Amino acid sequence: MDIRTDILDERRNTDRRSSVLRLQDGRKLGYAEFGDPDGAPVIALHGTPGSRLMFALADQEARMRNLRIIAPERAGYGLSDAKDFRTLHDASEDIAGLADFLDLKKFALIGVSGGGPFAVALAASNPERIKLLALVSPVGPIADVADRMSAWHRHLFTELALSSFASGSFFWGLKGLLAVAPDVAYAGLKHHASVADHVLLEREEVRASLYEAITEGLHPGVDGPVQDLQLYCRPWGLDLGKIDVPSIIWQGSDDTIVPAEAAYYLARALPQCRLEVRPGDGHYWVFGQFGMVLDAVKAAPTTVA
């Protein structure tokens, strides 16, 4: 992978939360680390919007399981410079470059919500390196199931999401609200969430973590989330049937944020995928269940090919 083998001065080893890798084309790629610094590596991809800080709540759970969580930011989020990508595969190359720099021969891969499609793309191009593909409430192949989605999800993911102006306006509005009226912004997030999600989102540590992660992700602007939507709401261009790696998808039955139909489609398409539907859960359940996801990661085979 074409990357330089140096870390910028921005890296602060004291908290492991603000590392920056300089890529070959001069761009910066931000990432954080949580859990056991000497543990088994796990690359974890944040949602839309989000940032490297999304997995802070998993720090202690990862330490208990001797897992090292490496959480990169996609282009345009947080510390990562923006870049226009044509495909999910192209965007996932940044993550592969980070894995190369860190000399990760084999690792588990977690994709949460909007991070799911990028995790799938990375697994498609690096199947021999992935010991487990773990997808949590993922955005599935929207374009393949549009006719099976609710009217709301169809409007959101096939009309608004593909309009740079509409999605950009939404995320700029969210960024502004987080700055001047965070309570209003959080109320908006809860408005579309399920009843089960409401209970979880009332927890102060979850509220604080989401606020920090989303605020940091949107700090440089909205290029990151706008591009996310453009990439994963169009046809993915991936041969899902050839991604022959052990996979798990956890999907809440009452998810009101992303269309569950797309996650179920993805589970059927991946050759080695186990689907675990969580009855009554919504979209944000993982913020109270990181330990369960990490248990599955810990149990995955560790033999290096």
The tens digit of pLDDT for each residue in 121-175 reads 999 999 999 999 999 999 999 999 998 898 989 998 988 999 999 999 999 999 9
The tens digit of pLDDT for each residue in 208-242 reads 999 999 999 999 999 999 999 999 999 999 999 99
pLDDT at residue 22, rounded to an integer: 95
Contact 141, 116 (CB under 8 A): no
Alpha-carbon distance of 95 to 85, in angstroms, equals 13
- Residue 51 vs residues 15, 156, 267: alpha-carbon distances, Å: 16, 22, 26
SS3 label, residue 288:
helix
Contact 140, 264 (CB under 8 A): yes
Average confidence (pLDDT) over 262-269: 98
Please report which confidence band the pLDDT of residue 4 belongs to, taking 50, 70 and 90 as the band edges. very low
| Residue 102 pLDDT exceeds 70 | yes
Q: What is the pTM of this model?
A: 0.93
The tens digit of pLDDT for each residue in 30-43 reads 999 999 999 999 99
Residue 168's nearest CA partner among 220, 210, 235, 221 is 221
Q: Which of 40-49, 78-87, 125-134, 190-199 bottoms out in mean pLDDT, i.e. has the lowest?
A: 190-199
Mean pLDDT rounded to a whole number for the chain: 93
Residue 265's nearest CA partner among 157, 108, 148, 155 is 148
Please report which confidence band the pLDDT of residue 305 belongs to, taking 50, 70 and 90 as the band edges. very low
Cis omega (within 30 of 0) for bond into 301: no
| Residue 95 pLDDT exceeds 60 | yes
Please report which confidence band the pLDDT of residue 87 belongs to, taking 50, 70 and 90 as the band edges. very high
Sign of CA dihedral 164, 170, 175, 176: positive
pLDDT at residue 304, rounded to an integer: 39
